[in-house]
Structure 1
Amino acid sequence: MNRKEYERVNPDNVEFTALLALAFWDTQVSDASEELIETIRRNRFAILKEMRKVYTIRGNIDGEIRQGELLDLLNRMKNAHNNCRVDKTIMNQREPDGILRRIDIAYNASVERRRSQEWKLLESIDDRKIIQHPTETLYLADGNTPLQTFHICYAETRIFIHEAYPSLTRLSKHEKDKIFNGYIQKFNFIDFHYRTRQLWGDHAQYIMESVLTVVDMDDDDQCLSEDEGGDHRELMKESGRAYMLNHLAVITPIFKKAQISNTELYALLAFALCEIDTSIEAEAISVFDELHSEVLLDLQRYYKEEMGLDDF
């Protein structure tokens, strides 16, 4: 983020105070408990609710858009801060502490690139709809955005794999492509459920379709374009909704019970990569055996040294 971006939004004193409060109540706290996350959500909702009252009193009819601009500015400020930390690490020539730290850096860098590209996509949609959320600027997905955001995710996940798992460079291009094509769906599955759980908790109405877009489970028309389905449109809507609800009924309780931390997410992404559903070469088997062992050892270190656990 640069000074021009801040000056473009130009928050007044009340908005600046709100930004300070929102920055304090940040859900991106490392390994925060469910109870703490819920407390943060409540406080952020209260802050944003108060801001909406301020805009109403001021007669600002674009209060929601203005609020979205402030949240976007806050995210950009956080990203700039994180980038400075990464740059400082590079300047000091410090390597990540372990494989989970490397995955952490690669994953979050990938998320921010996806966020930036998705925003450019959404910026071109005049009738985009903002979804109220205390920590993020989110938008309602329509019939066209899922495919476009998937293309963004597809490209960025390739970069993520290259940065997070450098040992894969030992494999042939054909082998890497085969592995990636089997991994992208697993990555999407984990990312989608974890992001939904982190941002919405037990709120059943919304699920994350991408970094910035949301599917409204109460809106059956949302994921079909106007000319899609023809005479079978209603059947398609009912089938799609039933499939998603059945899917969520199975998976959501698992994620809720597990309450995985950010670090455990990074381990899960690595373990998913190591679970190969097709035949692979001996060299690939060796790479994944090494990767699996490295992640497991780093995860054990995390439980012992950072979590203080003996029984895991």
Structure 2
Amino acid sequence: MAYERLSEFTAPARAAPDLWRIGAVLGLMFVVVMMLQQLVFILLAALGGQDAVRAVFEAEGTSPGQTLAALFSHGLFAVALAIALRAVHWRGFLSLFGAGAHAAGDFFRVIYWLVPLYVAAIAVLPTEYDIIRNEAMATNRWMLYLPLALAAVAVQAGTEEVFFRGYLTQQIAAGTRAGNWAWMAVPAILFALLHWTASAGDNAIWFVLWAFAFGLAAADLTARAGNLGPALALHIVNNAVALLGVAVPGPVAGLALYHTPFGADAGLIPGLMPVEFALLFVAWLAARVAIRG
């Protein structure tokens, strides 16, 4: 009964439920993304030369502009998904969100609960280290960047949600027998593997396990609500805190107000993970209460 709205959410996928179509979508997305990236490169080179291309897309760049570019670049995958969805399944991009009015309402209800929760967690939870101010982000500069930074986080997190909890969940649920939990497990596993970071060394497994738990929580919220709103809210709030508040130094930490004094491969990461899992669990419960009300 908890997932009675899952059938409503997956209804658009049942017109073309064949699982082979997922592979076709992935292949077409790859081609479209390559084409879009080349188009972006050409436009940047035409407007600002090769220096502009390197400044925006340098692999290890950590400036605010490079971080914005990295986050907004996920939008290319969203565009590719929209094109592939129309070509392979003959349906529109908005069908990935569930009922529009319900999705928007659930999104803002969950945001209303989660923002105070994360703010309280940052203020109350003790830390074993002193955070470091990001020298590239004075407070007034951070505030000026904030609207654009939030939009970039929304694009990045939203793209992941429409693919993993939107497209994959819908297609796997529609293409497998009733009661099969592959619609929850498979996207969560793939989402977790996407978060494998070689630079994290032995800590990479912790980030993968956390991402798997997040994937399960987001799938649960999606199935309970019958739309993508709650999972979108959870993902955006979580990533906004992690990327714009206190970030681990790295390629996408340029917009953060503060940095941790250690990298992703630090030995104290495993000791911090129980708190991260606990916060995710509480956020998941809060989101469930929000959509129940």
User: What TM-score results when the alignment is normalised by the length of structure 2?
Assistant: 0.28
Q: Which has the higher helix share?
A: 2
Q: Looking at both structures, which has the greater relative contact order when contacts are Cα pairs under 8 Å and sequence separation is at least 6?
A: 2
Task: Report the TM-score, using the length of structure 1 for normalisation.
Answer: 0.27
